[in-house]
Amino acid sequence: MANASELKEQLQILVQAILDEEDYSLGITDQIINILTALKKLKLKKLKNSSDDSLKVVDDCVVPDEFKCPISRELMTDPVILATGR
């Protein structure tokens, strides 16, 4: 798999081809979509790797009781606090 810099260069060339030509081929758009998909995968992989490191830091943080499930005491992913405070 190519690195991000190489993919961006290829993308720039293909986008310029679309801008320069009145009637461009659908193959060019398919290539652009493939490059964008590859760039997205690289970005997600990078974010996943960095989030693994940040999770180690999060483990050391103190979580307010409002964000913990009252039954399991696990961290809730989408906590909602009602007007009653529960």
The alpha carbon of 39 is separated from its chain's Cα centroid by a whole number of angstroms, namely: 10
- Look up residue 53 and give its amino acid: D
Please tell me the distance from the alpha carbon of residue 59 to that of residue 80, in angstroms, as a whole number.
22
Which range has the top average pLDDT, 6-10, 43-47, 67-71? 6-10
| pLDDT reported for residue 10 | 97
3-state secondary structure of 68: strand
Structural domain contains residue 71: no
Query: What's the pLDDT at 30?
Result: 96
Our count of domains for the chain comes to 1
Q: Please give the Cα distance from 5 to 39 (Å, whole number).
A: 10
Q: What is the maximal distance between C-alpha atoms in the chain?
A: 63
Instruction: Evaluate whether residue 39 is within a structural domain.
Output: yes
Residue 61 in any domain: the answer is no
In a domain, 78, yes or no: no
Kindly state whether residue 25 falls inside one of the protein's structural domains: yes
What confidence tens digit (pLDDT) does each residue in 4-26 have? 999 999 999 999 999 999 888 99
Residue 20 belongs to domain spanning: 4-49
C-beta of residue 46 within 8 angstroms of C-beta of residue 40:
no
Residue 82 lies in a domain: no
Answer yes or no: is 72 within a domain.
no
Look at residue 60 and tell me whether its pLDDT is greater than 70.
Answer: no
